[in-house]
Every structure is written in structure tokens, then in C-alpha cells.
Amino acid sequence: MLPVASLPAATTALTLGILLSIMLPQPASCITRHYTFNIVQHNVTRLCKTKSIISVNGKFPGPRLIAREGDRVLVKVVNNVTNNVSIHWHGIRQLNSGWADGPAYVTQCPIQTGQSYTYNFTITGQRGTLFWHAHISWLRATLYGPIIILPRRNDTYPFKKPYKEVPIIFGEWWNADPEAVINQSLQTGGGPNVSDAYTINGLPGPLYNCSSNDTFRLRVKPGKTYLLRLINAAMNDELFFSIANHTVTIVEADAVYVKPFATSVVVITPGQTTNVLLKTKPHHPNATFLMAARPYFTGQGTFDNSTVAALLEYEDRPDHSFNKIKTLFKPTLPPIGATSFVANFTKKFRSLNNPKYTIATVPLKVDKHFFFTVGLGSSPCPQNATCQGPNGTKFSAAVNNISFVLPTTAMLQAHFFENSSGVYTTDFPTNPPNPFNYTGTPPNNTVVSNGTRVVALPFNASVELVLQDTSILGAESHPLHLHGFNFFIVGEGFGNYDPTNDPAKFNLVDPVERNTVGVPSGGWVALRFLADNPGVWFMHCHFDVHTSWGLRMAWIVRDGPLASQKLPPIPSDLPKC
């Protein structure tokens, strides 16, 4: 059911007009939807431990934001906790609404205690599943929830309307305070303590101690089709997901329709969303089926090597003519480091490329070429300190060997007022400053440089970006998220990118369009996008530990010549630093 919308005050209508509006077909009109997000603290018990968490409206996971394509959305966020807060609407294009994107110190100063800010944006050309989450420090461990974008009224899905739609949100749970976990890591220079459990819709499930009652149950009817809206809101882990004895059909990724394909296992990185159709068995199976997820991990550090499970249960028949003792089936998931499986899975994604729903408008001519390395590194240990990172240093992470330092004021304001001095510089390198054999033997010197350096793009420039993983401190898959844009994934491979031969293999016909991509472990991925959205746009690894270590940067897209191509004025309630 859609939330009640706030419509403009109606003028006095003639009786004839009312009759006509009843008799005529309703237009696919867009409306304004109002939400209030109160940021509060409340107690939650998981794994037999009770702790205070930060949430929206006292709900964990947070409330669903539901709208239709074309709707305007106003979300008033009121901060009632002692932490500074900002909210990011992950995957929303934010066309001409860069002030509403949400990353702290990039597009806004955070909302301070007792203050509020209204995020104001219109959903343009998108339908499907996205999600919202905090975008400051590690607050998104508990501050997250689904964004459900329905087609315009009277529009259809490119598949038969499902019997029911169900969000499935993967999360990560710490018994400790996640803020204390990352603060300790940044202080000592070592890796952070791993989570105690994964969750499905906020619940760890029956495979963890003291958690059988905290299990999500999906009750279904035989012979029906369900749309599962999968969201990976976990902090630091890519996940395999499977439902025992069932296959699903993938129909959408990151709120863009794709050519449908069936699979028994879904791979989903933090920041990605995937809509799948689950067709239940035609007859009551007299069985219960585990829906399970566990990590896909390729790095060298520690990680939460556990499995979260929920239950798929068929509703009992009215006559109860079956055995009361049901068989429990468990799914088979790939090995934790199944890199080849992941590569084969991701290559199956293709844009639907149907004029009625979505067209793959891949830039064929490229104005700006970029080659970025992404990976780990180290920073020197401060004098008279003991550090727990590699060889007594501190862990760091970087793009083109630059570990990005967040400023103490909002970059978008500095850009808007053309006053970037002391905030950022526009000299981010187009290519790695010191080329090396990126996936071979790593260099002896792993120290990164620090800075707040960005790339400035002219409006409407077509961009090709190659992201290259490195072997420094271990090759690892990195889910890279770009704010403010979707990009087309035109190519990917293992080893070092070959600028001479690899472009000939690019898919420029129907590549998948996403906002978050897993850079293959020991490999590369090539993206193209059009810089048609003026503002300052963050790009970062969606492993929060890597973002905290500096694997992040920003793009500035300058204004275009037309009024509709310029960054709008600053909102009157934009938070101050």
C-alpha cells in the first residue's frame, strides 16, 4: 500500500469537473510524498545481548520509502541523538538536486543534534529497488531501509505482475558499538573487529546461538510468483544468497531492468540491489526451505565467516492433509573465494534494452579517459605510537595511490561559491602516478599519499573509467559506488587491463547499467557514463572499512549553459558545519 501523499491545496471544483474526473481514465500523474525520519536511540536485543542502537523512527531496519517514478519526495530528517547524521538515497540519480545526495562533508555538513534537514528530490527515469542509509562514519550499520520505486501509474512491469512483493535486506550486526569498532581501528591502524552476525531483515536466524526466535519467515502459497527485492546493506561483505531447492529469475539490478536469467545463487555486493522472481512449487511440498547467505571473500584479512538464514515456509492447506513433521532443506552455496563463479555470474547481466522500458544509451564517443587503481596501502605510524597494521604501519586504502581526506566543510558549498581554497584541489591524477605490474608482485613501498583531490568534468562530457584492482597487501574485490549517476559496465577481466586489445571486446550494445560494481579480485572493470548532472559526486568502495581508510574520491561536474543544467540554489535549511 502506498503512503498517503500530500497534494497541493485543491481549488473549488465544478460539479461537472468532478464528474468528468470520475468518468475519464486517470492520468499517470506524479505527486509529492512526505516522510519524516526521526533519528532516535532505542534498545534492541540480538544474540541474547541488548544494546542501544541508532535508528529511524525506532524501527530496525528502518521504514520503507515508497514512491512512483516521477514523484517528488520530501524527507524531513530530525536528529534526536548525540551523533552527527546524514542520509544518502543510494542510487537515486539526484538530477538537479545535488544538495539532497547526503554524504557528509561532500554534499552537505552533517545534521547536528537537535537540528533537521529536508531532503528534496524527484525520482527521474528510475523504477525498481534502491535503499537509503546513513552516510557518515559507520552509522549505516543500523540506519538503513528500502526505497521501493513503483512504475508510473498505469505502466506495467516488463514481466507478469507478481502475486506479492517482499523486501529482503541483508545487514551486519555487531554486539559492540560499530562506532567504537571503527574508531579503535583508525586509532591502532589495524583491521577492525569483524561483525558477530549477518542479518536478513534485521534478524540473524537459526544458525546463530540464541537466535532461533529471531528468524525472518517468508510464508508463501504454492503456484504463485513473488518478487523479492534483494538489498545488500551489509557493511563490509559481498554475499552469496540461495533458496534451497528453488531457482529465481533476475529481472532488475540497481533499479534498471535487465534481460531475465535464472539462477540458483545470487551474488550481491554491498550497495547493490537485485530484484528476482521466485516461482513457488505448484503443490504443497510438505517441507521448509532455508534461505541462506554467506560471504564471498577474496582478501587476506579476517572476516565474519558465518551464515545467515531465513525460512521459506509454504502455507498449510486448509484440510491439513499432510505430515506435520516437515523436512528442512538447506541450499548449497559456492566456496567463499569462488572468484570464477562470481565472474561468470556478473557477465550474465545485460540491459533489457527495450524501448518501452529502458534503452542502453551507452556513450560511443569518449571525451575523457581515466585509469584508476583501487586497493590497499599503508600510512606511517605516528611517532611514539605502536601500530597494528602491516609491518608496524597503519592500514590505508587509495584510488591512484591517493587516500582521500574528507574536509571539515561541505565540498558542494565550496564548489557552488567558487571558493575551493583550503577545501579541495582539482588535480586528481588521470592515471596512476607510479605505474607498476598491478596484479603481479607488489612494490616494496606501499605508503599512500593523502589529499582532498578531485576530478573536474565539463557538463555532458562522456567518460570512460577503467578501475584496476592491485595486489598491494593482497588482491581483493572492491564494490565501487558512484553517486549521482548510473554507469554502463562495458568490459571486465582478470589481470592487468590492456588498453590496446581489451577495448575491442567491450559490449557497447546492451551492457548492464548500475550504480555499484564489484571490481574483480586481481582484475579490472571498464565503465562509461555521461556527466549530465552538475554537482559534486562521491565515488568510493562500499566496504565501509575501505572507505574509512581512504578508498574514495569525488567528481565535480560543472554547470551547463542552460538554466536546467545548473546546480540549483542552496536550500535554506542546509546544515552548517
For 45-104, what is each residue's pLDDT tens digit?
Answer: 999 999 999 999 999 999 999 999 999 999 999 999 999 999 999 999 999 999 999 999
CB within 8 Å of 182: residues ≥ 6 apart = 137, 138, 192, 544, 545, 548
Residue pair 523/495 in contact by the 8 Å Cβ criterion: yes
Q: Which three cell numbers stand for residue 1?
A: 500500500
Q: Which three cell numbers stand for residue 53?
A: 542502537
159 burial (CB, 10 Å; 0-12 / 13-18 / 19+) is middle
Out of 314, 347, 380, a domain closes at 347
Residue pair 537/485 in contact by the 8 Å Cβ criterion: yes
Identify the band that residue 515 occupies on the pLDDT scale cut at 50, 70 and 90. Answer: very high
Identify the band that residue 370 occupies on the pLDDT scale cut at 50, 70 and 90. Answer: very high
231-248 per-position pLDDT tens digit: 999 999 999 999 999 999
pLDDT at 225: 98
What average pLDDT does range 109-120 have in this prediction?
A: 98
pLDDT at 2: 43
Q: Do residue 315 and residue 445 come from a single domain?
A: no
Say yes or no to pLDDT of 12 above 50.
Answer: no
Does residue 318 belong to any structural domain of this protein?
A: yes
Q: Do residue 196 and residue 329 come from a single domain?
A: yes
Out of 150, 173, 195, a domain closes at 150
549: containing domain: 368-565
Q: Do residue 246 and residue 392 come from a single domain?
A: no
**Residue 414 phi/psi, 5° resolution?**
-60, -40
Q: Do residue 505 and residue 540 come from a single domain?
A: yes
Give the chain's domain count.
3
Identify the band that residue 28 occupies on the pLDDT scale cut at 50, 70 and 90. Answer: low
Q: Do residue 235 and residue 109 come from a single domain?
A: no
pLDDT at 24: 37
Does residue 173 belong to any structural domain of this protein?
A: yes
**Could you tell me how many residues make up the chain?**
577
Q: Do residue 242 and residue 142 come from a single domain?
A: no
Does residue 37 belong to any structural domain of this protein?
A: yes
CA nearest 176: which of 308, 22, 51, 343?
51
Identify the band that residue 558 occupies on the pLDDT scale cut at 50, 70 and 90. Answer: very high
pLDDT at 358: 86
Q: Do residue 53 and residue 91 come from a single domain?
A: yes
Does residue 286 belong to any structural domain of this protein?
A: yes
Say yes or no to pLDDT of 180 above 90.
Answer: yes
Out of 150, 172, 189, a domain closes at 150
Q: Do residue 176 and residue 103 come from a single domain?
A: no
What average pLDDT does range 547-557 have in this prediction?
A: 98
Q: Which residues pair with 277 in a beta bridge?
A: 227, 249
Residue pair 61/232 in contact by the 8 Å Cβ criterion: no
Q: In this structure, which long-range contacts are made by residues 41-45, counting pairs with CB atoms below 8 Å and at least 24 apart in sequence? A: 41/80, 41/81, 44/142
CB within 8 Å of 186: residues ≥ 6 apart = 548
Q: Do residue 225 and residue 93 come from a single domain?
A: no
| 202 DSSP 8-state letter | T
Q: Which three cell numbers stand for residue 284?
A: 504443497
> Which of 5-9, 105-109, 369-373, 420-424 shows the lowest per-residue confidence on average (mean pLDDT)?
5-9
Q: Which residues pair with 494 in a beta bridge?
A: 523
| 307 DSSP 8-state letter | -
279-328 per-position pLDDT tens digit: 999 999 999 999 999 999 999 889 999 999 999 999 986 655 555 668 99
Q: Sheet harboring 164-173: ordered strands across?
A: 197-200, 164-173, 225-232, 273-279, 248-253, 256-263
Q: Do residue 172 and residue 298 come from a single domain?
A: yes
Does residue 557 belong to any structural domain of this protein?
A: yes
- Residues above pLDDT 70, as percent of the chain: 94
Does residue 357 belong to any structural domain of this protein?
A: no
Say yes or no to pLDDT of 423 above 50.
Answer: yes
**Residue 346 phi/psi, 5° resolution?**
-65, -30
Q: Do residue 114 and residue 184 come from a single domain?
A: no
pLDDT at 318: 64
pLDDT at 324: 61
Strands 327-329 and 128-134, sheet pairing: unpaired
Say yes or no to pLDDT of 7 above 60.
Answer: no
> Which of 13-27, 338-352, 416-430 shows the lowest per-residue confidence on average (mean pLDDT)?
13-27
Cell 545481548 identifies what position? Answer: 49
Say yes or no to pLDDT of 365 above 80.
Answer: yes
Residue pair 309/170 in contact by the 8 Å Cβ criterion: no
Q: How far apart are CA 8 and CA 195, in angstroms?
A: 46
Q: Do residue 292 and residue 405 come from a single domain?
A: no
Domain CATH for 243:
2.60.40.420
Does residue 296 belong to any structural domain of this protein?
A: yes
Side-chain half-sphere exposure of 44, counting CA atoms within 13 A? 22
Does residue 12 belong to any structural domain of this protein?
A: no
